[in-house]
Amino acid sequence: MTSDLFPELPPVQRSALRRGALVLLLPLVLGATQAVSQTHPSELLPLTPDAQFPRCTQRELMRVGFPDHLHAHQWSDWEPLRGPDGRAFGPGAFCYQRTVEPQAGLIIEPDSKQYGPFVFQHNPGYGDCDMLGWLELLVWAGSLVPELLDLEAPGTLVVVNPDNTKQYREMTGQGTWRLYQLQGDDCVIEPYPVLQARTLEAHAAFMLVTEWTLRTAIEQDLPPWLLQGLVEYIAEDGVHLINYMNEFRPNGPILMSPPLVDALLTRGVDPDPGRDREMYRRACYSAYLMAWQLVENEGGLEALREFLALAADGAALDDASRRVYGLDMAGLAELLDPVILGEPVGKSTQSRTPDIQP
C-alpha cells in the first residue's frame, strides 16, 4: 500500500519512510527482554508489524503495566524522528524549539495547518508553533497506523480545535473524558492545549487516526468492542485506563462482558455526566483488554491484519473471523470476554505515571 502522507516521494521511498518510523522507536526499548530491569511502560517492546507475540509476560505486565511509548516526545532528550532519507517527521519536524521548520507539502495559514491527508483548523490567535504540534502527532500516527493495520484511510481528515472545553462540550455534546468526536472525515478534538496539559495528546492522535482508518478503509461496521478495543490498543492507552479504573474499583467489579460493552458504546452519551464518564471508561477498558488478548495471544498482528483485509474486501465478518480465528464473531467475543479472563496485570493495578521520563 502507498501513503498520502508523503505524496511528493516515490512509492518505494514512502514505504521506506514508514518502515523507518517503526524502526526508530526501537532505541527506546533496549534491554526490554530483561524483566528485572523494567520499571517504565516505555521499556516494554513496542508494537511493530514484525513483533513477536505475546510481547511480554504476565510477570512483566504486573511489574510495569501495559506498554506506553507515546510520551517520549515530551522528554528532554527527544529529537525529531527521521526516515532512511534523513527527512524529519512526527514531533519536532514542523516546529523545533519554537521555530517553524519548512517542509515540502506543509501548508501554514493563520487559522489552519495542513500536511498530507490531515487538515487542522483552529483560532487564528494561536501562533504557528502553538498548533503545529498536533499536526506533527497526526503525521506520526499516520506514518505508523497504516503499517500496523495494513490498511489505508482514503480521503482527507479535517480536525477542528475548539477554543476551550466549554465550546468543545457545546460542539460535541460530550464530556472531556471522550477525547474527540469523529463523524466521517470531520473531527472535533478536545482543545489541543488541554490534551497537552493532560499528557494525552499523542494517545488522542493515535486513537483518532486508528478509528478514522478502520471506519473508512472497511465499509462495514466492526463490532463496537473490536473497533474501540483496537483504537485503545493501537494508541497504547492501557496504563491510563488502569489509572482511571482505580476510582471505580471500590464500587465493585469494573469489567464488562462484550454485549454490555457493545450496548454502552452504541447508545451514545449518557445524559448523566458522572455515569457517562464511568461507564464509558469501563467499556473502553474492557474493550482494550479484549483487543490485547486478541492480538497478544491469538495470532498477533498477522492474524489481525488478515482478518481486517478480508473485512475490507467485503467478506462477512463472521466468515472472516471463522477463516482466521476459527470462530464466528460471537464466539470470538466470548473467547475474549474480560469478565471471564480477568485483567492481565493481575492485582498489580496501582497508578503509574508513564509521562514521567525514566
- Residue 184 is assigned to a structural domain of this protein: yes
**Whether residues 205 and 337 fall in one domain:** no
Tell me the HSE value of 152 on the side-chain side, using a 13 A CA sphere. Answer: 12
Q: With contact defined as beta carbons under 8 Å apart, do 20 and 263 qualify?
A: no
Q: Is residue 25 part of a domain?
A: no
Do 201 and 228 sit in the same domain of this protein? Answer: no
Phi, psi of 157 (to 5 degrees): -95, 120
Residue where one domain finishes, among candidates 218, 252, 286: 218
Bridge partner residues of 120 (DSSP): 113, 159
Same domain, 266 and 319: yes
Let me know whether 264 and 278 are in one domain. yes
Domain boundary among 218, 251, 271: 218
Tell me: the pLDDT tens digits for 234-279?
Answer: 999 999 999 999 999 999 999 999 999 999 999 999 999 999 999 9
Same domain, 240 and 307: yes
Q: How far apart are CA 49 and CA 234, in angstroms?
A: 12
Contact between 314 and 27 under an 8 Å Cβ cutoff? The reply is: no
pTM exceeding the 0.75 threshold for the entire prediction: yes
- For 296-311, what is each residue's pLDDT tens digit? 999 999 999 999 999 9
Q: Does one domain contain both 214 and 238?
A: no
Q: Is 135 in the same domain as 177? A: yes
pLDDT in tens, 15-62: 334 433 443 343 333 333 333 344 789 989 999 989 999 999 989 999
- Look at residue 178 and tell me if it is in a domain: yes
Query: Which of 198, 218, 238 is the C-terminal boundary of a domain?
Result: 218
Neighbours of 126 (CB within 10 A): 17
- In this structure, of 101-110, 227-236, 258-267, the range with the lowest mean pLDDT score is 101-110
Is residue 8 situated within a structural domain?
no
Within 10 angstroms of residue 23's Cβ, the number of other Cβ atoms is 12
Each residue's pLDDT tens digit, 148-182: 999 999 999 999 999 999 999 999 999 999 999 99
- The reply to whether 127 falls in a domain is yes
Q: Give the structural domain span for 103.
A: 88-218
> Same structural domain for residues 342 and 296?
yes
Let me know whether 107 and 206 are in one domain: yes
What is the b/e burial string over 186-222, where b = at least 16 CB atoms within 10 angstroms of the residue's CB? ebbbbbbbbbbeebbbbbbbbbbbbbbbbbbbbeeeb
164: in domain: yes
Total of domains in the chain? 2
Instruction: Specify the residue for cell string 483548523.
Output: 121
